[in-house]
Amino acid sequence: MIPSFGYSREALRWWNLRVSQAFARGARTPFYLFSPLPVESALKQLEGLDFGCPTRHWLSCKTQPLPSLLEWWRKSGRPIEVVSEFEFRAALRAGFTLDEILVNGPAKQRWLPQISGRRLRVHFDSPFELAKLLPLARRQQWRVGLRIRTRTENDPGNPSIPTQFGFEPTEAMSALRQLRRADLTPESVHFHLRTNVASASSYGRAFREVADFCSSARWSPRYVDCGGGLPPHHTRGLDGLDFAAQMDLQVFARTCRRGIARLGGVRELWLENGRFLLAGSGVLVIQVLDAKCRQGIRQLICDGGRTLNALVSTWEDHELLPLQRRAGRTVPTAVYGPTCMAYDRLAFRPMPARIRPGDHLVWFEAGAYHLPWETRFSHGFSEIWWAEKNRMKRIRSAETA
């Protein structure tokens, strides 16, 4: 494989070796291969920043709900953030205590009463949800927070429409009064801008809004939760622009310091950067089954693709390289999955003309949101392999009919 998308040769060799090891142990395509080593590397980048106060990193369970990852993260002594009953139960099964779980997301009143416990950490999302859960929260003495929708949070497909998450400021003011009357003064304020936030200035605007609200409400939260949103390296939009091109992590940290100073009294910053931490932790390996040429475009049909394994290819462009050495000229190439859908196109780019049926292709940055959006469209779920230190093991077999 040759460097591209900003990868170092060492990183590509490392993945090449791990994929080859999986094949040597009987891996069959399509399969995902995950490892915690890139997660550690991404964590070090964030932990090396100066946010002006202690920082707690929560694992965004929805980003990669993989038991092996959850267990590895728990053993590292870090907590987990969940947004559904499915994730809550997975966290408990992985060994997390209630003190190590943060419950976010909308419409929690549907499932949380059945499985909650004392001193649970919960961020309320709406007036209706608060009304339904407040009696239980009071009895069980939950540690609570409020999610505030800032003006930067709009539907990415329709920017004129606000997102559906969190309290509007007037609603949050009423929620604060209700919580105080119930002797449950919230500890944390939460906002979450979106995925792949382009620059730190968006965080600056959100911090100012939240600080202004807290000042008018005479509320000094102990914790401020910025959610996730930092873009990972090595991914691009379909326009070819690098998502992380304008995101300077030092500027991001400085912006957070200023925002925390505005709030005053904050003891800890919370971050839930699923994509930044996890995108680079996995690859998808597929095999070329057929090759066609039409109107000057080479078409490779593979046993995995967008519809089954990589829905994010709808709006993201990732590196895709042949595992075998295929030097020589390149030609315009479209890579497809095996399903009967024209939509099932994983990538379109120049690729070596010598790629042929039987070759293997590696789709990088498959660690974020690939498993949650995996489908069974006319096929079963694929194999999953886990590489930790010197161990390589299959942790899920391919699903059969």
Q: pLDDT for 224-239, tens place per residue?
A: 999 999 999 999 999 9
Q: Report whether 113 contacts 156 (CB < 8 A).
A: no
Using CA of residue 107, residue 113, residue 97, residue 145, what is the dihedral sign? Answer: positive
Q: What is the DSSP letter of 232?
A: P
Residue 151 has pLDDT above 90, yes or no: yes
Write the pLDDT tens digit of every residue in 306-337: 999 999 999 999 999 999 999 899 999 999 99
Q: Where in the chain is the domain with CATH 3.20.20.10?
A: 37-278
- Alpha helices (H) along 218-364: 249-263, 274-278, 306-309
Q: Where in the chain is the domain with CATH 2.40.37.10?
A: 9-34+280-396
Write the pLDDT tens digit of every residue in 31-45: 999 999 999 999 999
The CATH number of 37-278, from 3.20.20.60, 3.90.75.20, 1.10.150.130, 3.20.20.10, is 3.20.20.10
* Phi, then psi, of 173 in degrees rounded to 5: -65, -45
Give CA–CA dist 230/275, Å, rounded: 7
Q: Does domain 9-34+280-396 have CATH number 1.10.150.20?
A: no
Q: How far is CA 176 from the centre of its chain?
A: 30
At residue 1, the pLDDT reads 42
Least confident residue range of 159-163, 271-275, 358-362, 369-373? 159-163
Across 180-202, average pLDDT: 96
Q: How far is CA 260 from the centre of its chain?
A: 24
Give CA–CA dist 335/344, Å, rounded: 9
Write the pLDDT tens digit of every residue in 331-364: 999 999 999 999 999 999 999 999 999 999 999 9
Q: What is the DSSP letter of 329?
A: -
